[in-house]
Amino acid sequence: MKPMKPMKPMKPMAPLDFGPAWWPKDLGSPSTSGAQNDIRYAFFPDKRRLLIERNGKLVTYDSGNHVINGVSQQQSTGTSLTFTSQDGLVNLDDLRQL
């Protein structure tokens, strides 16, 4: 029986391509972002901006002192979003729309 040849080194993985960013470039990179169904969100702590894209319509919110780090989506007759910050739950309706 012949000994096995050593394995050849693997090529490094190419970075994942998520396609072009859907938010304005001047906001930089979000600290958190996600999507479910027809809703996408991205949070930019340096600019204090939360962007929500729902059915192709982009809305910008002033996050105030909230540092968004999570999201909860409830679906029933309507869809509601609740975000988590360092101060607890934040309802989207409580943020100022710009």
Burial 31-46 (b: 16+ CB within 10 A, else e): ebbeeeeebbbbbbbe
Instruction: Write out pLDDT tens, residues 40-63.
Output: 899 999 999 999 998 889 999 999
Q: According to the model, what pLDDT value does residue 77 have?
A: 53
Q: How far apart are the first and last CA of the chain?
A: 73
Global model pTM greater than 0.95? no
Q: Is pLDDT of 76 > 60?
A: no
pLDDT level of residue 73 (50, 70, 90 thresholds):
low
